[in-house]
Amino acid sequence: MRIIHFLVICALVISAAYVYRIKMDSTVRTERVLRLRADIREERNKIAALRAEWAKLSSPARLQGLVERHTQLRPVDANQFDALKNLPARPPSFIKPNDPDPIGAMIDVVSPDEATGSIPAPASASSTPAATEGVQ
Amino acid sequence: MSDSASATPAEPFRQRLIRKLLYGNVDRAAKARARVGLAMLAFTAVFAIIALRLVMYGVMGDTHGRRGGAQDAVATARPDILDRNGEILATDVKAPSLYAEPRKLIDKDEAIELLTATLPDLDPGEVRDRLSSRKGFVWLKRELTPKQQHDVFKLGLPGVGFLRENKRVYPTGRDVSHLIGLVNIDNQGIAGMEKWLDGNGLADLHRAGFATDRQQEPIELAVDLRVEHALRDELMKAKEKFRAKAASGIVSNVRTGEIVAMVSLPDFDPNNPKEANDPDRINRLTTGVYEMGSTFKAFTLAMALDSGKTTLNSMWDTRTPLQYGRFRIHDDHPLGRAINTKEVFTYSSNIGAARIALSQGIEAHKAFLAKMGQLTRLRTELPESASPILPRHWGELNTVTIAFGHGIAVAPLQAVMGIDALVNGGYLIPPTFLKRTEADAMKLAKRVIKPETSDKMRFLMRLNAEVGTARKADVAGYYIGGKTGTAEKVINGRYAKKKVLNAFTAIMPADNPQYQLLVMLDEPQALPETHGFITSGWNAVPTGGKVIARIAPLLGIKPRFDLPPSDRLILATSRENR
C-alpha cells in the first residue's frame, strides 16, 4: 500500500512537471506567434503606405503634368496604330558576322531631342531654349 | 475532523465523554453520510450553474465586452478600392492620433502650454475644456504627421499618448471624386461608393469589431482610371474654354452597363472633405435632372421605327411651324419642305420629331419611355439619385415637347442607360459601377426594342456624324456615331434663349458599338471661333471628339480607316443578316 502511494505521488510530481513544461513551452510559442503577427501587421501597414505612395506618384494627373513639362510626348493619334499583319516580311540580313552593328551606330548618331514616331516634330520644338519655354 | 476513528467501539471512556458533551448523542456515521451528501449537492449546484451559464452564452451571445466610443474609431479599417486594372483608388494608411487621459495629467497648465506651442493649430480654449473634463479619455488631435508625433513625444508629458488610426487616402485625388465619394474622420463612408460599402455589410463588421485588420477583399470598380483622367482633363479644358458653369461626362460600356468613367465638374478632392459640402459640387449625372433636349429625339425615332408603322424613308411635313394652343414649335434650321425620318434626325428637326411622336399617340409614347426606364427613379450602387420630373397630366402638348426632349427632366445617367439599349441590340441593362461580365449583364438585361431597330439607330447615329449635327466629332479611324442636344434652360418659368444645357452622345464604333460617351456642358458661352453660336455642335461636340481621340486607344478600340459610309456598312449588313 505504501509503495503504491509512493508511486502515485511520484507520478503526480512527474506529470505536474511535465504539464508545467508543456505550459511554459506553449506560452513561449504563443508569445512568438503574437510577435510575428505584430510584425506581419507592421509590414502590411508599411506595404500599404508604400502602395498608396506609388499610386499617388503614378496617378495620371501627376504623370500628365510631368510629361507636359519635361518631354515632347503627345497623346497617340489614330494614324500611329497599325496591325501586325501589315508589317512587311523581314528582309534578308546583309551584315557580315564581324561588321559593327549598324543600328547601334545609328542610335549613337541620333540626338536625344529628336522627335520620333510617324509625325514630325513641330517646327517650334527644336531644341532652342525659347522653344522649350513655348512647350511649357 | 476528529471522526476518522470515531465509530470503533474501542474508544476510551474519557474521549467518549468529551464527544457526548460536545456533540450530544448522535450516530456519527449517519451524520458523515449527510455531510458528504450536502457537499455533493453543493458541488452539483455549482457545476449546474456553470453549465447553464455556458449554454446561455452559447445561445444568446455575449452582450458585454464590445468596444465602444473612441476605440471603435481606432479599430475601423476599410477594404481597398481598385479600378478595373487594379490601380488603387482608395486605401488605408495608419496615422497616429494624439489623445490625453485627463485624470493622469499632473500639471494641466504646463501640458496645455507645451501642446499648443508644439501644435500651433490646436485651439488653447478647446484643449483646456477637454483636459478639464472628467472623462478618462479625450482626443486632442487626429491624424498627426510623423514629425508632429516626434515633437509631441519629445515633450515627455505624462497622460498624453498616441493611438494609430486607419486614415483613408485617395491617391488619385480629384479624378475619381464623385464616383468614389469620401469618408468622415471616423472612417465611415458618407458619399459615393464608400457609402455603398458601408451599406453592404461593412458597417456591421465594424460594429462587431471584426474589421480591424486589412485582411479584407479589395473592391474592384468598373472605372478605368486612365479613361477617367482623360475625360476629366478634356472636360476641364472645355469648361475653361467655353466658360461653362459646369461640365460632366460619362463613358459607359453599352454591352455590360458598366460605367467606365464618370466626371462631374466642379468636383472636390476626397482627401479634403470640406469641399464636398459645397452645393455647386453635386454629382450632376446622378443627382441632377435635366431636360436632355434633342438627345431625346433618339427615343422618339426608335419608338416610331420599332412600331413598324414608320420607316427610315417616311416623309414628315415640316414646312410650317407646328401650332399648338399658344405654343409654336419652331426648327432651328427650317428646311421649308417635307423631310424623311433620316433628315429629322440629322437636321434635328423639332417639328419632325413632334409629328413622329403624335403619329404614335400619347399612350404609346408614355409606355415606350417607361419601358426605356426614363420615367422612374434610377437606382445604382451610388447612394445619390434623383427622380425624373414628369408632366402631371400627360397631354398631347407634353408628347409634342417630350418628343424633342423638353418638358421631361431625367438624370443624365438614366438617358445613358436608354441610349445604350437603343444601340446595343435592344437590351436595357441597369448601369453599374462594379465590374460586370457580359454574361452577367445579359442575365439582368431586358429586351426593349427589336435588333433591326437597334441597327437603324446605329445607322442614324453614324449618319449624323457623317452629314448631320455631330460632324465636328468625327475622329478619323473610330467610326463614331452621335446625337447632339441643345436644351434651353428654364429661368423663372420661361425658356431662356441664351442659357443652354448642351449634350453630346456618341457611340463608338457605330457599326458595332462598344462604348457610349455622354458630354454635357452647362451654359457654355459663345466664342469668336464658334461664330457666336452656343448650340451643342459648336462646343459639346468638339469636346466629345477630343475625348474620343484620347480614350479610344485606352479602351482598346482598333482604329480602322477607309470604311464605307453608314448606309452601306450598317444598313446593308443589317439587311443581309435578316
Say which CATH topology domain B227-577 has. Answer: Beta-lactamase (3.40.710)
**DSSP H stretches of helix in B133-270:** 146-155, 177-180, 192-197, 203-208, 225-241
Q: List pLDDT tens digits, range B188-202.
A: 888 888 888 888 766
Distance (Å, whole) CA A106 – CA A121: 19
> Could you report the predicted ipTM of this complex, rounded to two decimals?
0.70
pLDDT beyond 70 at A125: no
B378 CB burial (10 A radius; 0-12, 13-18, 19+): buried
Would you call A83 an interface residue with chain B, using a CB distance cutoff of 8 Å?
yes
Which are the contacts of B147, defined by CB distance < 8 A and separation ≥ 6? none
For residue B252, indicate whether it is catalytic. no
Confidence (pLDDT) at B325: 75
What is each CA distance from B7 to B37, B95, B131, in whole angstroms?
19, 77, 73
> SS3 of B430, please?
coil
pLDDT beyond 90 at A114: no
Residue bearing the bigger pLDDT, B7 or B538: B538
Q: What are the structural domain ranges in chain B?
A: 16-60, 70-220, 227-577
Handedness of CA A21, A26, A31, A36 (dihedral sign): positive
Predicted TM-score of the model (pTM) = 0.75
Determine whether domain B70-220 maps to CATH 3.90.1310.10: yes
Q: List pLDDT tens digits, range A16-53.
A: 999 999 999 999 999 999 999 999 988 988 888 888 88
Q: List pLDDT tens digits, range B496-515.
A: 778 888 999 999 888 889 99
Q: How many residues does chain B have?
A: 578
pLDDT beyond 50 at B450: yes
What string of DSSP letters covers B15-38?
Answer: HHHHHHHHH-S--HHHHHHHHHHH
Phi, psi of A25, rounded to the nearest 5 degrees: -60, -45
Distance (Å, whole) CA B116 – CA B157: 13
Would you call B175 an interface residue with chain A, using a CB distance cutoff of 8 Å?
yes
Q: List pLDDT tens digits, range B293-305.
A: 888 999 999 999 9
Pairwise CB contact (< 8 Å): A48 & B173: no
- Supply angle C-alpha B414, B417, B419, rounded to 5: 110
Confidence (pLDDT) at B68: 38
Pairwise CB contact (< 8 Å): A78 & B169: no
Query: Can you tell me the mean pLDDT for B544-551?
Result: 92
H/E stretch holding B350: helix B350-360
Confidence (pLDDT) at B370: 92
In CATH terms, are B70-220 and B227-577 the same topology?
no
Of B92, B213, B559, the CB nearest to A78: B559
pLDDT beyond 80 at A69: yes
| CA nearest neighbour of B175 among B285, B263, B239, B245 | B263
Pairwise CB contact (< 8 Å): A60 & B171: no
Would you call A79 an interface residue with chain B, using a CB distance cutoff of 8 Å?
yes
**DSSP H stretches of helix in B61-145:** 70-75, 108-118, 124-132
Pairwise CB contact (< 8 Å): A59 & B233: no
| CA nearest neighbour of B465 among B537, B546, B514 | B537
Question: Using an 8 Å Cβ cutoff, are B115 and B125 in contact?
Answer: no
Query: Can you tell me the mean pLDDT for B37-55?
Result: 94
The Cα of A80 is separated from the nearest Cα of chain B by a number of Å equal to: 9
> SS3 of B577, please?
helix
Would you call B172 an interface residue with chain A, using a CB distance cutoff of 8 Å?
yes
Pairwise CB contact (< 8 Å): B172 & A61: yes
The Cα of B232 is separated from the nearest Cα of chain A by a number of Å equal to: 10
CB-CB neighbours of B362 under 10 Å? 17
Q: How far is CA B573 from the centre of its chain?
A: 39
Would you call A60 an interface residue with chain B, using a CB distance cutoff of 8 Å?
yes
Q: Which residue in the list B294, B348, B349, B566 is annotated as catalytic? A: B294
